Amino acid sequence: MTAGPKPILCYVTDGRALKPAPAPANPLLNDSIPLRLRLLLDSIGRAAAAGTDWIQIREKDLDTRPLVELVRLALAESRDTAARVLVNDRLDIAVAANAGGIHLGEKSLPLQSVVEWRSSTRRSHFLIGVSCHSLESAREAERGGADYIFFGPVYATPSKASFGPPQGIERLREICTALKIPVLAIGGVNLVNGSECISAGAAGVAAIRLFQDAADSAELAAKLKNFSSLQ
């Protein structure tokens, strides 16, 4: 038995949940930038430097201008790392800021439209992900051309309560077995149960608080990367 590929780690941002802290000594994060964006960029920078693979900007309440600014600054923060910056819902923002991809929710643009746009613009490197909450929607996303999906909530979590009760590890396993594209587990994932998700076949994990509340981002990423499944 050999170790499988390292899990994909995706930090999903939520600036409203960040606690005020002293501004970091970073020239990008000066006093002309609103405190919320400074806190977000500090969190994004630490996660990217620690080895987090994807940073999904999910600030649904921000207006277009500050959201574009945030994505552009996030790209600057992660420029010297391997992290890819994705934008939640807003294709226009992703294109304007030259982000690495988009993540679509249930009420986002139709997947087909985004896939057709990518094909017509020849942006083969641009990632398209979809949030799914059932086997049917997961299969539909794969057939539609999604590069990956989020599936959940696997465990109980306040941020995903509106999507119903937790799906559980066996449902996650069913989804991972049925799909060929990567499945990232989301919803209540932590250091205790994360290995369970990878063992069930998940290609990685996505979370807000797991990454955002980490006292040591590098230590967290190292522990999560060691959740590689055995094959």
Helices 64-77 + 35-50 axis angle, to 10: 30
Residue 52 located in a structural domain: yes
Task: Give the residue-averaged pLDDT of 158-163.
Answer: 63
CATH of the domain at 85: 3.20.20.70
Residue 230 located in a structural domain: no
The structure's pTM equals 0.91
pLDDT tens profile 52-73:
999 999 999 999 999 999 999 9
User: Can you tell me the distance from the alpha carbon of 139 to that of 132, in angstroms, rounded to the nearest whole number?
Assistant: 9
Q: In which band, very low, low, confident or very high, does the pLDDT at 147 lie, cut at 50, 70 and 90?
A: very high
Residue 231 located in a structural domain: no
Q: pLDDT value at position 228?
A: 64
Tell me whether the omega of the peptide bond preceding residue 7 falls within 30 degrees of 0, making it cis: no
Residue 37 located in a structural domain: yes
Is the pLDDT at 230 greater than 50, yes or no?
Answer: no
What's the start-to-end Cα distance of the chain, in Å? 6
Q: pLDDT value at position 163?
A: 61
Residue 170 located in a structural domain: yes
pLDDT tens profile 110-129:
999 999 999 999 999 999 99
DSSP 165-181: S---HHHHHHHHHH-SS
Q: Is the dihedral of CA 195, 197, 200, 204 positive or negative?
A: negative
**Average pLDDT of the chain?**
90
Burial class (CB in 10 A: 0-12, 13-18, 19+), 227: buried
Residue 161 located in a structural domain: yes
Residue 1 located in a structural domain: no
Number of domains, the chain: 1
Which of these ranges, 25-29, 77-81, 176-180, has the smallest mean pLDDT? Answer: 25-29
Residue 218 located in a structural domain: yes
Which of these ranges, 48-52, 168-172, 176-180, 213-217, has the smallest mean pLDDT? Answer: 213-217
Range of the domain at 218: 8-225
